[in-house]
Amino acid sequence: MVMTTDTEEPETDLMCCASCGITEVDDIQLRKCTACHLVRYCSVKCQRKHWRQHKQNCKERAAELRDELLFKQPESTHEGDCPICLLPLSTP
């Protein structure tokens, strides 16, 4: 889950590696961070290099995405789940 700047901005039309800044061209395909989908990287090396700066924002956004996913699920999918932790309740 893995910009040379300390601040991260939302995705723009110009896609570039969050670590080295290279833009997407024919021979380089940028891949989104699989957890937060906020930033892109040209390589695993760049992703690892940038992780310290990205970690906090990534975890926060990943939690938001999980919450959004749970919120969008139909109510029937939550029957039998604990309303606090959302784990399945055991049936006697």
Domain boundaries, given as residue ranges, for the chain: 1-92
pTM exceeds cut of 0.75: no
Q: What is the pLDDT of residues 46-81, one digit of tens each?
A: 999 999 999 999 999 999 988 888 777 776 555 677
pLDDT > 90 fraction of the chain, expressed in percent and rounded:
43
Q: How many CB atoms are closer than 10 A to CB 10?
A: 6
pLDDT digits (tens, 9 = 90+) for 16-52: 999 999 998 878 899 999 999 899 999 999 999 999 9
Q: What angle do CA 72, 51, 25 make, to 5 degrees?
A: 85
Q: Report residue 80: phi and psi, to 5°.
A: 85, 5
